[in-house]
Amino acid sequence: MHKFLLNSFIALISSAAVVGCGGGGGGGGGGDNPTPTPENNTVSLSSGNTFADTATDSAVNTLPCFKGSSSAYSDSELRAKCGLTTYQIMVEAYRNGGDATGYGYGWGPSRHNGTIGGITESLDYIKDLGVNSIWITPIFYTSDSGDEAGKKTNASGYFASQQINTSRLDIDPKFGGGMRGTENASLKKLIDTAHSDGMYVLLDGVLGHAKSDFASNGVTAPVKSTSCRNKKGDKETASGYTCFDWSAANTQAYFGALLQTAIKDYGIDGWRLDQAYQVGPDGLLLMKEAVKQQAGTFIGNPDGTLGFTVGEVWGSEDQIESNVFANNALDSAFNFPLRYAIVQTIASQENLKESWATGMPASRIQTYGYWSMSKYKGSDAMPDAFTDNHDLVRFGDLLQRAGYTSDGSNEDVTANSEYVNRHKLAFALLADYSGPITIFYNQEVGDQVPGYVTEPSDCGSGTKWCDDHVSRTDGIYDESSLTSGQKEIRDYAASVLKLRAETPAMYMGQRWYVIEDDSIYGELKYNKAEDSKVLLIANLSTKEKEIEVDQLFSAKVCSLTGGSSCDSADYQFTGMLDGDSSKVLSSSSKLTLEPLTSVFLRIE
């Protein structure tokens, strides 16, 4: 959501302008940061130089989606939630479906004429990508009042004026579907169509703050407050908007009713909760229980509601832990530390001032990304992995910021093989993640804003975009209009996301970091119930690499995955994607990886 004041900066999180909903900043610097070593063109996987970070791996493997079991979830619910692959859509920016005119104004470079109907018309395109869930940004009623900046913020939906109207969801007519306070035809059609296509639908809830004119109609109103809870648990004065008192029973009742009404009336499958720290862990736990109660016996049933809850805490691993996972307040929270580790390694973070902003070794993904996850102690915790969202600079623009490609002003950047391959690497890392993942719309085609390399000092004026809204571009949903580079990224994304859906070890498997190397990233995944074993090897350097294994490596893989007679084990590792079946690795063969490419290997 649009912020009217710059948030204070926090340790481990670098500065960023706040015009989006997160109120966060740049990437963290936690974990070990090894000094790069001389590059070697042949990388040997042997028991002597692999599986060195067992402390981090052992801690992470206690999380439900890595462990593959949890007392908090049934088997079907765990499988469904760990296997979520969600496509996030900024409603006001995406596409007009003819059910309303849209806003016509807003933050970012889109035409701002998006409606709910436009999403429904795009479901075939979205489903074909291999996702099984969509998350749509807030659609609740917002009044037209405000200055120019305020009106742009209205379109985002993150500062609502009303959310329930006489016991019904109060949907903004500008997003389509008819009159306020009645059943919204556009929303119902979207959800029914998505369900018939085998996809879940998540709504976006803002429970900690609202527009100053927020009012209740026909239901008990939440208690307003002049201050909001921050990520540290302290109070911060609100300026230009209102907060809510989450110690008040009326606040808890109002928002519990909101979450339950959407499930009861429309059959939605869960909620993404904006700035979840404003609610606090106790309030979040109440909301999760309200969602699970309304979802009832349908939880985990692909024909019913999923009852999924995910919160946004744009901050360090300690802040995510204390606000969400410490008391199992929600199913999930967005995995910002892992996101920053990924972009620092293969692109850049938004703020280039830190020494770790870009060009980090492959080991960064382990030593900061997964190391951060070892701090999550909640028995129900299933962090959500992502690289892009509506508050962050698109991955394509981060590649330009890092200097890997041109700024796209005068040429098609997707014609650049490095631009394409770095996008594909990001998708490979996400697809192999144990737990829910989120893809931001247009990410699958390598979208970017031409000429946007750095944030202007006077951003927000005229057409000078800021980092936290520049990603809000028009939706791309017509395959026939794609460039060859865009199509290559999309085809690869679809192939790895579909492979993820078919391979339990990828979305719900134990994970071991294979080798500590500056240019090669490797991880072993194992799902015991399905006896599914996968080895992901990614060459993050711009030089060709030769990978070799020995029998001792096979023996180690055997022992980690519960095999027998491991001293004599000698596995074969075979490419899993179409076109990769000829890529075979064994103790008697080597595998060549081209620059900036990866391979998924089935272990047999």
Using the 8-state DSSP alphabet, how is residue 455 labeled?
Answer: -
Q: Is 4 contained in some domain?
A: no
Q: Which CATH number goes with the domain that contains 424?
A: 3.20.20.80
pLDDT tens digits, 164-174: 987 899 999 99
Same domain assignment for residues 395 and 530: no
pLDDT band at residue 376 using 50, 70 and 90 as cut-offs: very high
Q: Could you give the percent of the chain with pLDDT greater than 70?
A: 92
Extract the runs of DSSP E, i.e. beta strands, from 375-451. 437-440
Same domain assignment for residues 503 and 543: no
Cα distance between residue 335 and residue 387, in whole Å: 9
Whether residue 101 is predicted with pLDDT greater than 60 in this model: the reply is yes
Cα distance between residue 26 and residue 399, in whole Å: 15
Same domain assignment for residues 355 and 393: yes
pLDDT band at residue 22 using 50, 70 and 90 as cut-offs: low
Q: Is 47 contained in some domain?
A: no
Phi and psi at 140, nearest 5°, equal: -85, 160
* Structural domain ending residue among the three candidates 457, 488, 512: 512
Same domain assignment for residues 506 and 520: no
Same domain assignment for residues 463 and 556: no
**Residue-level pLDDT at 41:** 86
**Residue-level pLDDT at 378:** 86
Cα distance between residue 182 and residue 392, in whole Å: 35
**Residue-level pLDDT at 286:** 98
Same domain assignment for residues 378 and 419: yes
* Structural domain ending residue among the three candidates 490, 512, 534: 512
Same domain assignment for residues 360 and 377: yes
**Residue-level pLDDT at 23:** 58
The count of structural domains within the chain is 2
Q: Is 18 contained in some domain?
A: no
- For 108, residues 6+ apart whose C-beta sits below 8 A from its C-beta are 93, 465, 469, 470, 471, 472, 473
Whether residue 269 is predicted with pLDDT greater than 80 in this model: the reply is yes
Q: Is 484 contained in some domain?
A: yes
**Residue-level pLDDT at 259:** 96
pLDDT tens digits, 287-342: 999 999 999 866 655 555 899 999 999 999 999 999 999 999 999 999 999 999 99
pLDDT band at residue 7 using 50, 70 and 90 as cut-offs: very low
pLDDT tens digits, 348-366: 999 999 999 999 999 999 9
**Residue-level pLDDT at 165:** 85
Same domain assignment for residues 154 and 191: yes
Q: Residue 99: is it exposed, middle or buried by C-beta count within 10 angstroms (0-12/13-18/19+)? A: buried
Whether residue 234 is predicted with pLDDT greater than 80 in this model: the reply is yes
Smallest Cα–Cα separation from 436: which of 80, 136, 128, 125? 80
**Residue-level pLDDT at 1:** 45
Same domain assignment for residues 149 and 212: yes
**Residue-level pLDDT at 301:** 59
Same domain assignment for residues 194 and 79: yes
pLDDT band at residue 24 using 50, 70 and 90 as cut-offs: low
Q: Which CATH number goes with the domain that contains 526?
A: 2.60.40.1180
More confident residue, 181 or 90: 90
Average pLDDT value over all residues in the chain: 91
**Residue-level pLDDT at 298:** 67
Smallest Cα–Cα separation from 575: which of 557, 547, 544, 598? 598
DSSP-derived 3-state class of residue 76? helix
This model's pTM is above 0.85:
yes
Same domain assignment for residues 183 and 195: yes
What is the spatial order of strands in the sheet that 597-603 belongs to?
A: 510-513, 520-527, 532-539, 597-603, 573-575, 584-585
Q: Is 7 contained in some domain?
A: no
Same domain assignment for residues 94 and 121: yes
pLDDT tens digits, 107-130: 999 999 999 999 999 999 999 999
Q: Is 39 contained in some domain?
A: no
Smallest Cα–Cα separation from 385: which of 421, 349, 341? 341
**Residue-level pLDDT at 31:** 55
Whether residue 180 is predicted with pLDDT greater than 80 in this model: the reply is yes
**Residue-level pLDDT at 4:** 28
Cα distance between residue 312 and residue 334, in whole Å: 6
Q: Is 46 contained in some domain?
A: no
Cα distance between residue 103 and residue 94, in whole Å: 12
Cα distance between residue 238 and residue 221, in whole Å: 19
* Structural domain ending residue among the three candidates 512, 530, 556: 512
| Partners of residue 513 on adjacent β-strands | 523
Range of the domain at 287: 52-512
Using the 8-state DSSP alphabet, how is residue 13 labeled?
Answer: B
Q: Is 590 contained in some domain?
A: yes
Smallest Cα–Cα separation from 337: which of 567, 49, 19, 28? 28
